[in-house]
Amino acid sequence: MIAWQTVQNITERKDDGMAFCNYCGNMIEGGTRLCKRCGKETGAAAGDQNPYAPPKHSAAVPVPLPKLNPWQYYVRALKNYAVFNGRARRAEYWWFMFFDTIVMSIVTSIIDAVFNLHIGEHGVVFTLYHLATLVPYMSVTVRRLHDCDKSGWFMLIPIYGWPILPATAGTIGPNRSGPDPRHEPPTHLAGQGNSGQEADAPQQSP
């Protein structure tokens, strides 16, 4: 009977000014030292933690960031021209490589052929474009490696770029390279930076 009444008291609690007895779980007014049911000193007035009280703050749930269209991912990689820190989600890497190595290569080759812009066997526009995007290509690759919790030096391994890197899922939650690019940081943690608490072991995202 007492156990059921305790559960009922906890379930029906709505007023944040109420507290619970540390011994029997009876609902009491905040600041009251003696429980009317068991007559024991609650300790609530002294600021002791009450095991029957609900948590003050609910667990923070990461908020997924909205997905961009393919062109927006490509433009984002270009805007982060020389950003080698942080993380890049798999979609950003995929779509930058698609536009950079396929679409723009075809477009620049057509321009070179139409206007006969060649130096020897190499098209002028094609060569200039790929020279201009060499740094963003390297930076997005490094950030994608960071998303997989790998060092950026892995880009020096030729086989790691294709096909391993595009098929590898990033880690869920923050890792040693920064927050998860797929989610916003929890509101109550934003702006705290490194608080000295180590993050949980990274897991693989789907």
Mean pLDDT of all residues in the chain?
76
Nearest to 52 by CA among 40, 42, 39, 37: 42
**Which pLDDT tens digit goes with each residue over 67-85?**
899 999 999 999 999 999 9
Contacts of 85 (CB under 8 A, 6+ apart): 143, 146, 177, 178
Stretch 106-118: mean pLDDT, rounded?
A: 95
The DSSP code for 196 is S
Residue 172, classed as helix, strand or coil, is: strand
State which amino acid sits at residue 179: P
pLDDT surpasses 80 at 186: no
**Which pLDDT tens digit goes with each residue over 8-32?**
444 444 444 556 666 676 777 666 6
Stretch 37-60: mean pLDDT, rounded?
A: 54
Distance CA 87, CA 181 (A): 6
CB distance 25 to 8 below 8 Å:
no
Taking the model in full, what pTM does it have?
0.60
**Cα–chain center distance at 74:** 20
CB distance 97 to 84 below 8 Å:
no
pLDDT of residue 10: 41
Domain borders along the chain are: 1-59, 63-185
